Structure 1
Amino acid sequence: MSDSIRAAVDQTTAQFRELYIELCLREWDAATTGTPEALQAISEARAKWMRFWADPTPYQQYKAWDDSGAAGSEAHLARIVHLLHLGFAQGQRDPATIDEVTQLETALTDAYTNFRAEVEGQRLTANAIDQILADENDSEKRREAWEASKQIGPRVADQIRRLAELRNEAAWRMGYPNFHRMSLTLNELDPDWLYSLLDELARKTEEPFRRAKAELDAELSQRFGVPAEELMPWHYAEPFFQRAPMTSALNYDTLFAGRDLVQLALQTYDGLGMEVRPILDRSDLFEREGKDQHAFCTHIDREGDVRILCNLKPTLRWMETLLHELGHAAYDAYIPKNLHWVLRSFPHILTTEAMAMLMGALTLDPEWHQQMLGASPQDAAHIGDISARRFRLEELIFARWVMVVVNFERLMYEDPSRDLNRLWWELVEKYQLLKKPEGRETMPDWATKYHIALAPAYYQNYLLGRMMSLQWTDWLQRNVGGIVGRPAAGEFFRERIFAPGSTLHWNDALEHATGEKLNPDYFVRKFAQ
């Protein structure tokens, strides 16, 4: 039986690999050019990809082998069978649905890639909007920029709602109540466990977040000359209040003025014994017209062609983002090439997010400021005290933002026909404690968030990744003394995190690395007490 399974796996892998490489290349072209030709090419590649995974014959075969344990004691073969079973299960759709989904996703990709907010007749990049919300003290100008960032919502809302309906139809055919629950389950996350975890974390972070936000609001009130109770969403750091504003304690952006972020990143990874120069040589790092305004990492072929996309500016946000994306990239690059091609990946997206978020957070580490930015020991210690408070504020803000997105998606997929505009603001008010501007319940502000359209059921991975990264950090502190400038920390990542690829379930992989499965108490102790 194992020989016949292996033969089937080899045949499937050859097809999988060819389509995967084509899709990654076309996605890269679309993100870096935004041209109609590139968007048409990505549409065709997505359609071929979806048709491959929609084939019911391999789905039924891999499901039968997986359910019966046909691979026997061959652990890697059994894992491959399981992963292919999950992949085909997620892909089961009829041809007409594939065509419509492909058309919608292509149109949405075009919309988000080429969208530029318009303020007083000027087209502004996302970086420009962020700069206004970072620097501008005039409330009216801030409001105009914030509202402009939401202009894409009405253009794409109907398409996203239709996409949600189509995703749900696929889930129903597979016996799931809705797409959100199906997607979590087939990505090896128990939906009820996740929902319960988020509800418990919401309870435990409620008061710490209220106190932290009250302190922040007092400072913003003084800055803008607005009573704290009258602060509006545009008084915060960026359009979604998912990051903390710079405060009077320290404007981190001044630390990066005139700095070469790429060189700082190289020094950071060199200190861990990780070579990322070939990755940067293949990457697209600076903003321009027609280019995707987000940031991401892609492993084109699972054979070493790893690239990142950024839109770098000399700010804390982009320094953190560069280290973050290179965290994904280093993970991909150091997965052993002697693993089976299907297993040359991370065990779950939250695991690579853990690596990325850990690396991004080094920008708040006093050792990083001393070794990379040349801060004196005294200045580094001072920055460390401020950074610990900022890190706590950042994580409380972001955790509550994740609760907005995940609960919105959960409820949207339960009933896509509901009043999503009103739902969005109910969740924003509940979890982020933001005041809804008058009349916004009539606007599809939820549709301005890229992930809801094109990276569905994804956002929880950031928060789970942070939890995992804190467990890694605790292990590293106890065993090698820290992270920055420590080759032993790099060895931990290469040997305990990257080397297994996706041979293990993500929680088993975490236990393999640290001796413990995912434990949210690390997050609660650090940020919510």
Structure 2
Amino acid sequence: MNLLPFSGLPAHAPRRFVPAQIDLGDWSQIAPLFDQLDARAAQCATPAEFERWILDQGELAAALDQEGSQRYIAMTCHTDSPEAEAAYLHFVEQIEPELKPRQFNLAKLFLAHPLRSQLDKRRYEVFDRDTALLVELFREENVPLQTEESKLGQQYQKLSGSLTVNFRGEEKTLVQMGRYLEEPDRALREEAWTLVAQRRLQEADKFEEQFEAMLKVREQIARNAGFPNYLAYAFRAKGRFDYAPEDCVKFHSAVDTEFMPVVRHLQAERKRQLGVASLRPWDTAVDPLNRAPLRPFAEVDEMVTRTQRVFDKLDAELAGGFAQMRDLKLLDLANRKGKAPGGYQSTLAEARLPFIFMNSVGVQRDVETMLHEAGHAFHTLAAKGEDLYAYRGAPIEFCEVASMAMELLGNQHLEEFYAPAEANRARKTHLEGIIGFFPWMATVDAFQHWIYSHPGHTRAERTAAWLALMDRFGGDVDWTGHESARANLWHRQLHIFLHPFYYVEYGIAQLGALQVWANSHRDPVKALRDYKAGLALGGARPLPELFAAAGCRFDFSAETVRPLVALTRSELAKLN
């Protein structure tokens, strides 16, 4: 049975190298293609032949990438399907470990090739740099460890996806419980919040054990690659050529000095509006004036239609891209049991098309997520004409500019979902969410800096480090009686488990997105044109140049942060 929401996607271009009828889940069919590429390297006599060899590698990589993506999509859409789980695990266990040494060998052949120096310097600058990094970091003994890490990640997803509570006689997923935190009835909110917190605490030891297993694997990977700790390894492995751990520490400080005063001001205002003696964890998502929760749509189809109208107003090219995704069924948006938590955009690398996954339950957050993932999708579509497979994706720090800027640009047309007063309320909620995001980002990032630079730490020490960061960046929320939930709050942040150190990118990118938004206040046409120009580059240029193309500065010091905080505050004042 087909476990994918879509079927029969066209390839972007006919295959020239990979056989049309190959089974990409069978290593015995894949290996001969790598053998051919290995043999062909020495036969390349001209730069044109050498480039063809690079493009054929990319064609094989894209076909395998899409195969892996489709199995991941099927597994996350059906976490309760043994068939989907088996197919995904087969690829992770049997195919991916075989790929890494073969790709490493091709990278070595590229670096040693006499024609490498004859390639266009500017065109291949980033490709050359990234290939050299791959060779520098590759260790054969890390391949099984990376497989083990993927399997541990799948166990975390399975545990998270399986959690439900019985709320007033009905079984609910934890995602579905989120909507009750927006209800005006404070007792109802407390009941819902407490039920979810207790359910998570029942699994706290399991989450800790899963994380400790991952930590052990990651520390070994770093040691094998010759790094003093996983922090140093991760910065190198993520290709962070343009910033260092010290820059992130400075960013945490900028969040502390520039954002925290605004956060505390907004929390005090919320407490005053709610008329409560102290702000409790279940008081942070409700409308502070006790208006009923925003309900932007009833059904997913309605969300898609209204989102389409937002893009119709924003830009014809973007609107056409979203319509294509809708028509090809490249959307799985409704929350249901047996679906992995969260939302993502996955690129089907051979078709050069995006797929969007999310868990929509009919709240304003869903509109934000839809715009966010659509921004990623537009990035995929903007770069689809790039023939170098490696350049069809950009560094995450810029990928998230694409998505976060689209939230801010799309927000200008929220009247497609709401009456004007409600649209302003949604915009205000969104901007307050951005302000509130920076301290959480700094907490998650600084926590990982602590974890991975303190090998051999105990569970108690890790908890103490987390609580110190909650004190620094948590603002004025009263957790009395729920100290255990506060100490274990990080268990819900899947990035800490699945994607270590992948979180500060959101903060860096949010600064880029706020700059795109600031530009749109000055000149909306130019701002959108620059945004699309940045997206169209894919990953062909270094990070600072991608930011510059989109009209932004790649910098996260207090000097860059301050005017963006000021603009956000002034817009919030207008919306009040």
TM-score bracket, shorter-length normalisation: 0.7 to 0.9
User: Quick one: which of 234, 239, 253 aligns to 1:199?
Assistant: 253
What residue is the counterpart of 1:352 in the other structure? 399
User: What is the rounded CA distance, in whole Å, between the counterparts of 2:113 and 2:247 in structure 1?
Assistant: 27
Deviation at 1:266, TM superposition (A): 0.4
Does residue 315 of structure 2 align to residue 261 of structure 1?
no
Cα distance per residue 1:67-107 (max 9 Å; x no partner): x9846643222322223334455654514424432432232
1:159 maps to a residue whose letter is Q
Residue 405 (structure 1) aligned to one of 444, 452, 464: 444
On the 8 A contact 2:294/2:364 being kept in 1, the answer is yes
**Aligned partner letter, 1:42:** Y
Once the two structures are superposed, the pairs formed by residues 20-99 of structure 1 within 5 Å of their partners are: 20-34=65-79, 35-47=81-93, 48-54=95-101, 57-58=105-106, 60=108, 70=117, 73-87=120-134, 92=139, 94=141, 95-99=143-147
- Give, in angstroms, the shift of residue 144 of structure 1: 2.2
Aligned to 2:217: 166
Counterpart pick for 1:431 among 460, 466, 473? 473
Shift of the alpha carbon at 1:333?
A: 1.5
Alignment match, 2:537 = 500
2:483, 2:495 → 1: CA distance?
24
For 1:124, what is the secondary structure of its paired residue? strand
1:240 is aligned to none
Give, in angstroms, the shift of residue 133 of structure 1: 1.6
**Alignment of structure 1 residues 503-522 onto 2, 5 Å:** 503-514=540-551, 516-518=553-555, 519-522=560-563
Q: Does 1:216 align with 2:270?
A: yes
Contact 2:511 2:561 in 1 (8 A): yes
| SS of equivalent residue, structure 1 residue 311 | strand
Change (3 A) 1:90 1:261: farther
Partner of 1:484: none
Task: Name 2:491's counterpart in structure 1.
Answer: 447
Alignment CA distance shift 1:38-1:196 (3 Å): same
| Structure 2, gaps ≥5 residues long | 1-45, 571-576
Change in CA separation of 1:457 and 1:2 when aligned onto 2, cut-off 3 Å: farther
Q: What does 1:278-317 align with in structure 2 at a 5 Å threshold?
A: 278-280=324-326, 281-317=329-365
Given that 2:447 and 2:469 are in contact with CA atoms closer than 8 Å, whether structure 1 keeps it comes out as yes
Q: Distance in 1 between matches of 2:129 and 2:350?
A: 19
1:180 maps to what in 2? 231
SS in structure 2 of the partner of residue 290 of structure 1: coil
Is it true that 1:464 corresponds to 2:464 in the alignment? Answer: no
More displaced stretch, 10-19 vs 279-288: 10-19
Q: Which residue of 1 is the match for residue 194 of structure 2?
A: 143
- Structure 2 match to 1:329: 377
Residues 181 and 192, structure 2, Cα contact 8 Å, conserved in 1: no
SS in structure 2 opposite 1:307? Answer: strand
Matches within 5 A, 1:105-120: 105-119=153-167
1:219: Cα distance to partner? 3.3
Shift of 1:468: 0.5
Q: Which residue is equivalent to 2:567?
A: 526
| Residue number among 493, 503, 518 corresponding to 1:474 in the alignment | 518
CA distance 1:32–1:17, change in 2 (3 Å): same
Distance 2:272 2:553 in 1: 40
Q: For the residues of structure 2 that align with 1:215 and 1:128, how far apart are their CA atoms?
A: 28
Are residues 107 and 388 of structure 1, via their aligned partners in 2, closer, same or farther at CA, if it must alter by over 3 Å?
A: closer
Task: Give yes or no for contact 2:375–2:402 (8 Å, CA) kept in 1.
Answer: yes
SS for the counterpart of 1:154 is helix
The Cα of 1:502 is off from its aligned counterpart by 0.8
Worse-matched range after superposition: 121-130 or 160-169: 121-130
Q: 1:201 to 1:93 in 2, by over 3 A?
A: farther
Which letter does structure 2 place at the counterpart of 1:498? L
CA positional deviation for 1:446: 2.3
Cα drift, residue 8 of structure 1: 5.8
Structure-2 separation of matches of 1:221 and 1:149: 29
| SS of match in other structure, 2:360 | coil
RMSD, matched Cα: 3.3
**Residues 395 and 527 of structure 1 are in contact (CA less than 8 Å); yes or no, is this contact kept in structure 2?**
no
Aligned mates of 2:139, 2:523 — CA distance in 1: 46
Please state how far the C-alpha of 1:461 moved relative to its aligned partner.
Answer: 1.8
Is the CA contact 1:257–1:315 (under 8 Å) kept in the aligned structure 2? no
Secondary structure (helix, strand or coil) at the match of 2:500 reads coil
Identical-residue share of aligned pairs (%) = 17
1:203 and 1:361 mapped to 2: Cα distance?
24
Q: Is the 1:33–1:291 Cα contact (8 Å) retained in structure 2?
A: yes
2: CA distance between counterparts of 1:441 and 1:32? 29
Q: How far did 1:50 drift?
A: 4.4
Structure 1 residue 234 displacement after superposition: 3.4
| Alpha-carbon distance in 2 for matches of 1:124, 1:492 | 44
**Which blocks of at least 5 consecutive residues in structure 1 are unaligned?**
238-244, 482-487
Rounded Cα–Cα distance in structure 2 between residues aligned with 1:447 and 1:439:
14
Q: Are the structure 2 counterparts of residues 288 and 392 from structure 1 closer, same or farther at C-alpha, using a change threshold of 3 Å?
A: closer
Indicate which of 464, 467, 478 corresponds to 1:422: 464
* Residue 317 to residue 391, structure 1, CA distance change in 2 (3 Å): closer
Equivalent-residue separation in structure 2 for 1:79 and 1:176 (angstroms): 24
Amino acid at match of 2:325: I
Query: What secondary structure is seen at the aligned counterpart in 1 of 2:355?
Result: strand
Q: Deviations over 1:5-51 (max 9, x none)?
A: 64663454344223311211111010111122222322232233244
Residue 210 to residue 423, structure 1, CA distance change in 2 (3 Å) = same
- How many angstroms apart in 2 are the aligned matches of 1:455 and 1:210? 30
TM-score, reference length from structure 2: 0.77
Distance 1:214 1:357, change over 3 A: same
Change (3 A) 1:250 1:514: farther
Distance in 1, Cα, partners of 2:478 & 2:111:
49
8 Å contact kept, 2:356–2:373: yes
Q: Whole-Å Cα distance in 2 between the matches of residues 331 and 249 of structure 1?
A: 38
Counterpart position of 2:62: 17
What is the CA–CA distance in structure 2 between the aligned matches of 1:514 and 1:109, rounded to whole Å? 37
Query: Secondary structure of the residue that 2:333 maps to in structure 1?
Result: coil
Q: Which amino acid aligns with 1:289?
A: K
